[in-house]
Amino acid sequence: MPPGAAVADASVAAVHPRRIARSHSVASTLVRSALRRPARAVALIKHSISGAYFAIFCAMYVTSKAQDLRALQVYSPLAATCINCAFALLHFYGLAATCSPRLQFPIAPAWARAFNVSSSTEVATSAQLVFFHFIDISCQSYQAYRMSFYLVGRVSSFGFTALVALNCLVTPWFLLIQHKVARKSLVLLTSSLVGFVVSTLFPVFVFLIPAIRFNFINENLRNSPAFLTEGILASRYAIVSSPIDLVTKSAIQASSFLALRRLVQFVDVLKPRSTMTTAVNHKPSISPAVLSQHIRIGHRNRPLLTYVACNLVWGFVLIVLSGVSNFHRTPCPDTCLLEIAPWFDTSCQCVTFELNCAMRNISGDTIDAYLRPDQLGQWLFYIDVRRCSVPNGISTNTLAAFQHIYGLHIIFSNMTVWPRHELELPQSLTTIQIRYSNLTVIPDVLTSVSSNLVYIRLEGAYIASIPDSIYAAWANVSSIALNYLNLTHVPFVVASHPILAKLELRGNFISNITLKWQNQIHMQQPLVTQIDLTANALRDGPWLLIQTGVLLRLGSNPIASVPPTVTAKTLTSRKVVLDDTPYCTTGPAVGCQPKCARYCDSTMIGNLRCDWVCFTEACQFDGGDCDGFGYLRYP
């Protein structure tokens, strides 16, 4: 071989590595430049929405009433509040850092090594990406499984699972991209986007918007069994309810946040100016074929290929599980208004049951045959029984088969007793209503109640007195409504309930509220928020309670005058309601509003709850609230 040829070969061998390194540098610069704007746009949108989302959640935890948190079965409200506030601050910091890069924390040496794309760190970087992706998929899969027990919308439930499956079917392919910068950037981008949709956008639409509508736009929706079921179940999903739920939700949020911040910093990490200038000068020398060679998919790492294959299989499994559960189920009876679609089960799983015996021409004294777990499933959440005789109530043995019941509503019945059988009422029961019955005493099933019971409503019966022992048994009940009975006094033991928040005693014969009782309620503040004594026999109101800020409803009582503590501002703000009293009819009528009937307030008309006292022509037949019960309107 001639000496010149040997020198030429050596020269080519020496120059070739430099060209390869230069090609990698140029490709890295091009990839980062191409992803910089999309990454920053995603960061601005995500940090803005997520920051507001967590701030609202934090405010909801802080401002929610204790009885509502109990009804939602919130796990560790203090820890959940702190975590939500922390995420809100992190996202607001991320928003500020994205708008002004000078606010970003300097990248630590460990981060700098992670951003380095040299071959010495390739294995470590790939392992990190795989590890965090595995954590994401595990937590998201658990949340998809959990959601199947809480979401009544089949399309939404399947859509959530399909998104998690998409993360299994698409993202792992990015792990096989040969170009290190492109691989890391795309994995971080998709992980952040999927985490954002799963943990923030989805709860916004299925929980936050309905919750805002429920609490601030139309509070009457709480009287709709269907909306209440859908809202409470969605709330129990969105709000932390168990330790594993807290861990998985926090892991998804933290991973999504870190992935986005790593991506933004990663694409902002540039080579020195000399390197950039060199890259720009040599940009024309990089052909599309060379560039595509750097970002093409192809990998010989068997463990990584195995991981990708497992993800593909798991993605298809998720789609099949959710698809079969949602769209290939055994039909529920027509008494079922809403149902859920749990995984690994295709039987009917009804959550809202409604039975109107009069409209279905059902006679007889029991309805147990319509409450069968083999027909309705075991996840029954709300039972609404209308115009059924049930003189002995519903057998507690029958109800014991449904250990997830939230609400039980029996209206317009001939109930005279409700005995306790071998089994108790389900421990999960949170609200119970018995309205317009033939009861003369408190039914036996309510003489002792579960600690989970939050709301009791008894209306339209002939109960003249209630023993103190029963009031004492209701010590853990936050909201007590004893309306349109024959009560003549308010026992002192009620005022001493430690968590009493709302007390309704409308339409009774109570003529006096003792000062001792008022002082005891005064000591309960700020827990007690509302006391309703409308349409009783009071000639003097419990004025001491005005100092505590309790909302007092005293309309349709023979109250002719008020003390100086009842100011015009108090009346106009409706903190004290005196509609249909001698004070309003003979006085200046400050803050007074007309009523269509003594027992019917204007707020009861059209509130989605059938109030028989409002079902008159003068009261617009309760605004149509009783139309679904089959009653005819007669002028």
What's the mean pLDDT when you consider all of the chain?
Answer: 85
Q: Tell me the whole-structure pTM to 2 decimals.
A: 0.85
pLDDT in tens, 561-615: 999 989 989 999 999 999 999 999 887 778 899 999 999 999 999 999 999 999 9
CA distance readout (Å), 535 to 32, 280, 354, 508, 566:
73, 85, 31, 7, 19
**Which candidate, 402, 399, 409, places its Cα nearest to that of 380?**
402
pLDDT in tens, 90-107: 999 989 888 876 666 554
Cβ atoms < 10 Å from Cβ of 578:
26
- The percentage of the chain sitting over the pLDDT mark of 70, rounded to a whole number, equals 85
- Is the backbone peptide bond immediately before 526 cis, with ω within 30 degrees of 0? yes
CB-CB contact of 537 with 559 (8 Å): no
Burial of 350-365, coded b for 16+ CB within 10 Å and e otherwise, reads bbbbbbbbeeeeeeee
Q: Which residues contact 125 (CB under 8 A, 6 or more apart)?
A: 114, 117, 180, 184
CB-CB contact of 169 with 312 (8 Å): yes
Cα–Cα distance for residue pair 538/561, rounded to 1 Å:
12
CB-CB contact of 331 with 347 (8 Å): no
The token pair at 81 is 């509040």
Cα–Cα distance for residue pair 220/625, rounded to 1 Å:
11
Computed over its alpha carbons, how large is the radius of gyration of the chain? 33
Confidence at residue 444, expressed as pLDDT on a 0 to 100 scale = 95
pLDDT in tens, 207-221: 888 888 877 788 888
Predicted confidence (pLDDT) at residue 289 exceeds the cutoff of 60: no
CB-CB contact of 375 with 348 (8 Å): yes
